[in-house]
Structure 1
Amino acid sequence: METRSKSEFVQSLLGRTKAFAVRSIRLYRALPKTGEAAIVGKQYLRAATSMAANYRATCRARSQTEYFSKLSIVVEESDETLFWLEIMIEADIMPENKLKHLVQEATELLSIFATARKHSKATKESR
């Protein structure tokens, strides 16, 4: 991958994760006003916004070790985000059709970050 296209890809992911965080805030505001929705919603909101913030921090890593560590946090937060979306659907807090685009984006982001971490680990171990 060329430096320019890699930079564009990173910028694209920064934009996607930030947009996902904003969409997550909007979802949180739209949740039913019930106790369980508040609890699950807060957990979801923390994970989704943390994913975006930690990816931003990953882009500023000062070393390969720090990059791998921060990217591992992004993978964990991405997976947790997807988990809370699944809980919202399975517990009938929100209908699946209203969350399908967020679930799709969370799944895609998790796949991208997990692949990047795997590649980063392989690169680190080959040195």
Structure 2
Amino acid sequence: MQKNNLIKDKTFDFALLIIELYKICKTQNEYVISKQLLRSGTSIGANVQEATAGFSEKDFLYKMSIASKEARET
């Protein structure tokens, strides 16, 4: 049984919100910024997922730092 992981849950929920915002931006004919927002905003959770499956503490920290950078970009 897998226990809850607050960061994974929050980044997943955030990605869903980013997707909704992306859809709204597209209806307003905003494509350039919306695509980058979609990429960076959904990448946060993907990197957190990768981090939790890391092989070592160093790998975990590296992938979490990437997630942090994507969050700042978003």
By the TM > 0.5 criterion, same fold? yes
More helix by share: 1
Q: Any residues of structure 2 matched to 1:1-127 within 5 Å, and which?
A: 8=4, 11-31=5-25, 32-33=28-29, 37-81=30-74
- Once residues 47 and 80 of structure 1 are traced to their aligned partners in structure 2, the CA distance between those partners, rounded to angstroms, is 7
Q: Kindly tell me the number of residue pairs found equivalent between the two proteins.
A: 70
Superposition TM-score, scaled by structure 1 size? 0.52
Larger radius of gyration: 1
Gap regions ≥5 residues in structure 2: none
Cα deviation for residue 68 of structure 1 reads 1.3
Gap regions ≥5 residues in structure 1: 1-6, 82-127
- Once residues 38 and 77 of structure 1 are traced to their aligned partners in structure 2, the CA distance between those partners, rounded to angstroms, is 19
Matched AA of 1:23: L
Give a deviation string over 1:29-71, Cα, whole Å, max 9, x none. Answer: 01111xxx21001001100100110011111111011011101
Matched AA of 1:21: A
- Once residues 69 and 19 of structure 1 are traced to their aligned partners in structure 2, the CA distance between those partners, rounded to angstroms, is 23
- Once residues 41 and 74 of structure 1 are traced to their aligned partners in structure 2, the CA distance between those partners, rounded to angstroms, is 19
Identity of aligned residues (%): 30
- Report runs of 4+ in structure 1 exceeding 3 Å deviation: none
